[in-house]
Amino acid sequence: MELKLIEKAKTSLRVEIVHADDTLIYPLVSALLKDEDVADAQYVTGHPQLDKPILFVKTKKGDAQAALRRAAEGLSTKYRDAKASIEKALAK
C-alpha cells in the first residue's frame, strides 16, 4: 500500500491510496473518527476500475497530518499487543 499526498491545507488532508488494503483502511478511519481533534474522516473508493481510493481527513484544530500519524501509531500499538497476546497463548 502506498500513500500519495494530493492536497494539504491547514486543517485538512487528501491522500490517494495505491493498492489499498481495506483491512487496514477501515480501522484507520475508525481511529481517526475517535480522535477529538478530527472533524471528519472519509474513505472514498469511487469506481473500482477508474478511480484510486482517497482518504480525506479534516480536523477541528491541529494538523490533519499529525492526526493521521496518531491514528496509525495507535493501530500499530494495538496490533502489536494483539500479536503478543496470540503468541503467548500459542506458546502454552
How does pLDDT run across 31-69, given as a tens digit for each residue? 999 999 999 999 999 888 888 899 999 999 999 999 999
Instruction: State the residue for C-alpha cell 494538523.
Output: 63
**So what's the pLDDT on residue 19?**
85
pTM (2 d.p.) = 0.85
- Radius of gyration (Cα) for the chain, nearest Å? 15
Render pLDDT for 19-38 as a digit per residue (tens, 0 to 9).
Answer: 888 888 999 999 999 999 99
Sketch the domain layout of the chain as residue ranges.
2-90
The CATH classification of domain 2-90, taken from the options 3.30.460.80, 3.30.1360.10, 1.10.10.10, 3.40.50.300: 3.30.1360.10
